[in-house]
Structure 1
């Protein structure tokens, strides 16, 4: 069973493409690259979620034009909920 971790921050690059902007996700005492996070989800090592404005949202792996990215289940297409999180230190 996957260990559940809350994402509280992200690091973005300077790209304008929402599907390719997130480089790292992080939480209390940890930080993973996008590729690591995708691999952990696919292997069921970790499951991730956000908790914003009283709402818990599961993070899933999605794909657009054969490029994998992370988004919350609540996002219809782009990773808007994740992109709204503050930058990680």
Structure 2
């Protein structure tokens, strides 16, 4: 199953991956939608082998998990820059 991440919720400044607290997503196959906190989304992709992406059509880009040393894992697109809405 794959979901499209449509929004991120950021708490704090600067608006970077360290301050993302949750992700809003849609499942276009089932027309389902939901919100997942950062740890749950990281686990879903990294451990449960779920798939996530941002954008649509030719602008669709896969999302993966980054495991930095001495920090919590986080999500990042496989492209340079893909805008998504911050709420």
TM-score band, normalised by shorter chain: 0.7 to 0.9
Aligned equivalent of 1:71, options 70, 76, 80: 76
Partner of 2:20: 22
CA RMSD in angstroms comes to 2.2
Under a length normalisation based on structure 1, what TM-score does the superposition of the two structures give?
Answer: 0.74
SS in 1 for 2:41: helix
Q: Distance in 1 between matches of 2:76 and 2:3?
A: 15
Q: Distance in 2 between matches of 1:38 and 1:86?
A: 19
Q: Any unmatched runs of 5+ in structure 2?
A: 27-32
Q: Distance in 2 between matches of 1:55 and 1:4?
A: 16
Under a length normalisation based on structure 2, what TM-score does the superposition of the two structures give?
Answer: 0.75
Structure 1 residue 11: Cα displacement: 0.3
Q: 1:4 to 1:53 in 2, by over 3 A?
A: closer
Structure 1 residue 37: Cα displacement: 0.3
